[in-house]
A and B are shown apart, each in its own frame.
Chain A
């Protein structure tokens, strides 16, 4: 597999940056729907990843747990009755579970309440990261919220705690959007349509500008202000405008400057 294909797998969340770094000695098994990946020789020997849309953490865990049982029929896992599953990093000990939810939080970002939120979430044993997990930057107001503590609690407790926090964050985000809508309705609408305008008519656009504008348009669609853009299209674009995915679509390697031009073209055609 060439390097473009590999990087695009990270952009699609099928593999992690860690696996990519170690690709000479690593492997991944994917299902057809591309929501389940079994990574081999990532940070640990085996890492299961199951992604479901929405807040279906229980379903995702049950699926992962069944896969785990199947693997365990043939493989002896390093397990200790006190410390649980022995992972190479002590931060994953115990259940070894990392339950994550990807959230689009433009309201909390605009009202500058996101920093408070991050410190609060840290206090209850959870963590907020950028869209590509550990060490990644916040892009397009998309945050990944996950449990930090993996030892001492059961998988169910970890998931329930996370869901409880996520529901609170959803409430806060809704409230933040209402506040903006009530105090600056014209400015908000203007901002959303300007963003859509740039995405529709730009001739050169960088990935980070594009993600930020897509976030504004998504917010507009979610709040029912922008009506003629399909959210599915926005989801597709979120992946397709990323550097490696974009080059894969075009079928060749492209320099950064030309990528900005092609990105603008992809956006124009998609949002026409």
Chain B
């Protein structure tokens, strides 16, 4: 859909206004929306209705060209029976299994929200041991490459030993689990 104002760029801001029961819809590109509404676009509390996650979610879905009809209404989470349409309506996932069921639809959304799809923070202490070792090893391997490229061989040797140690621990942990 083209922007209604400039008729040049793709419309990616969709505004629905209901004033005294009269509904008007506008489809604008980023630039025209900014020009017409100043800073107000995107600021929930300046408008009559707070901009909720569901509104943004719908915007994202539209921006990506929508989902194929086959997904909507047909795929159902085996654990909690939620459909993707349910998620679109209320913006909340039903259970942890949903993230697996709707992986193909969720990943692009998550990337848009966070700009990233790789967790980098805390791991569960009791169940996250193996993960932690794996992540630390990956991080050290990057550091090792970096050290070698800078010809800091003393540091590289130290990192190599650390990696060896962690790999031993990882093996122990995996054998135990």
Contacts and interface: CB of A to CB of B under 8 A. Distances in A.
A95 interface: yes
16 contacts: A43-B92, A77-B127, A78-B95, A78-B96, A84-B119, A86-B93, A89-B91, A93-B113, A119-B43, A134-B50, A151-B110, A151-B113, A151-B114, A152-B116, A152-B117, A155-B122
A137 B45 contact: yes
B173 to A, nearest CB: 15
Interface of B: 39, 42-45, 50, 52-53, 91-96, 99, 106, 109-110, 113-128, 131
Contact of B121 (A78, A95, A115, A138): A95
A90 B131 contact: no
Interface string A243-262: 00000000000000000000
B97 to A, nearest CB: 9
Interface string A129-163: 11000111110000000000111111101100000
A79 interface: yes
A95 B114 contact: no
A147 to B, nearest CB: 11
Interface in A53-78: 65, 68-69, 72-73, 76-78
A137 B109 CA distance: 28
A72 B127 CA distance: 9
B106 A90 contact: yes
A80 B103 CA distance: 12
Contacts of B125: 69, 72
A82 interface: yes
B121 A90 contact: no
A81 interface: yes
Contacts of B50: 134-135
Closest 6 A-B residue pairs measured CB to CB? Answer: A152-B116, A84-B119, A78-B96, A95-B121, A151-B114, A135-B50
B126 A80 contact: no
Contacts of B119: 80-85, 93-95, 151-152
Nearest to A84: B119
A80 B96 CA distance: 9
